[in-house]
Structure 1
Amino acid sequence: MSNTTAYETDAREERPPSFVEGAWRNRRWTRSSSSILLGLIPTMLLVMSGGRLPVIGPALAEAGLLAQSTAPIVAGITATIALLNLLLFPFAREAYYRSTVALREGLGGIFVLGWMFLIVVVCRIAMFLVIWAIAIPAGILAMVTLGDEDRRGLGWRIS
């Protein structure tokens, strides 16, 4: 038996993932499927409202885009924003969880009851909506960060 035959294996070499695939797979705190499901809630509200949500609707009305003749344009803009938010929300959510891990671990043993519990729940829902609202720029930044970490071998794999 030669020295080289002892080290030969039948295992295939794993091809490194693409940059975007590496960013998708680089998860520790969130799962992409749950992020997409959570992102669907406000996305569906946005699509069903036709761009007439409290913040978007008045802005489109002031710009004069909520007329009957511009309905296809508003629908296209709304669908584009909804799709981008849905695709980039998982990245933004993972970046938020990574940036607040020290806070969560520090407050992990604290239990809240009564009014404080309601305040915590309202703040969590508000944070969810804020992350969804800024999902496009935050998701792009997080995708670049997560992809770069994965490319350098600093990512996590959750199967």
Structure 2
Amino acid sequence: MRFVLGAWINRRYTRLPSSIVLGLLPGIFFIYLATRAAAGGDWFAFAGAISFVVVQALAYPLAREGYFRATQPMREGVGGWILPAPIALFVLLLKFNVYVYLWVLSIPIGIAGFCYLALTESAGNGWRLV
């Protein structure tokens, strides 16, 4: 059971509060749809939308940490580059695109991230400060 909690603690590049907030931002639309469904009497859609948002919020931090660990060599390799304004804008658009894709696929990527983080934590290779 320690490896389950260890996967949540074994984060090096992300922090839990910011990851949960980023995971919940697109979920606001689903919460709006859920309240409209509940007002119309469709409680099944309400429960489905709320449970979807909760699962997304729990899986997104693990998916985000997995993404940051997978792309760490790229960040180290291009860290000192100074980009012209049009290319920097293109990079910002790509980062937003990655955020959307990561949020949409956060459940399967979060499961893979959970497995990776739990296995590294159980092997004693975690990144915890305590």
Which residue of 1 is the match for residue 96 of structure 2?
125
Hey, which of these two has a bigger chunk of helix by percent?
Answer: 2
Q: Does 1:48 align with 2:48?
A: no
> What is the aligned counterpart of 2:51 among 75, 80, 83?
80
Instruction: Give the distance between the partners of 1:30 and 1:22, measured in 2 at CA.
Output: 15
Deviation at 1:51, TM superposition (A): 9.6
Q: Cα RMSD (Å) of the superposition?
A: 2.2
Deviation at 1:69, TM superposition (A): 7.2
Which residue of 2 is the match for residue 146 of structure 1?
117
Instruction: Give the distance between the partners of 1:129 and 1:114, measured in 2 at CA.
Output: 23
Gap regions ≥5 residues in structure 2: none
Which residue of 1 is the match for residue 87 of structure 2?
116
Identity percentage of aligned residues: 33
Deviation at 1:48, TM superposition (A): 1.6
TM-score by length of 1: 0.73
TM-score by length of 2: 0.89
CA deviation map 1:79-124 (0-9, x unaligned): 1111000001000000000000011111101122321111111111
Which residue of 2 is the match for residue 39 of structure 1?
23
* Larger-gyration structure (1/2): 1
Gap regions ≥5 residues in structure 1: 1-16, 53-65
Deviation at 1:70, TM superposition (A): 7.2
Deviation above 4 Å: which 4+ runs of structure 1?
A: none
Deviation at 1:158, TM superposition (A): 4.2
Instruction: Give the distance between the partners of 2:83 and 2:33, measured in 1 at CA.
Output: 36
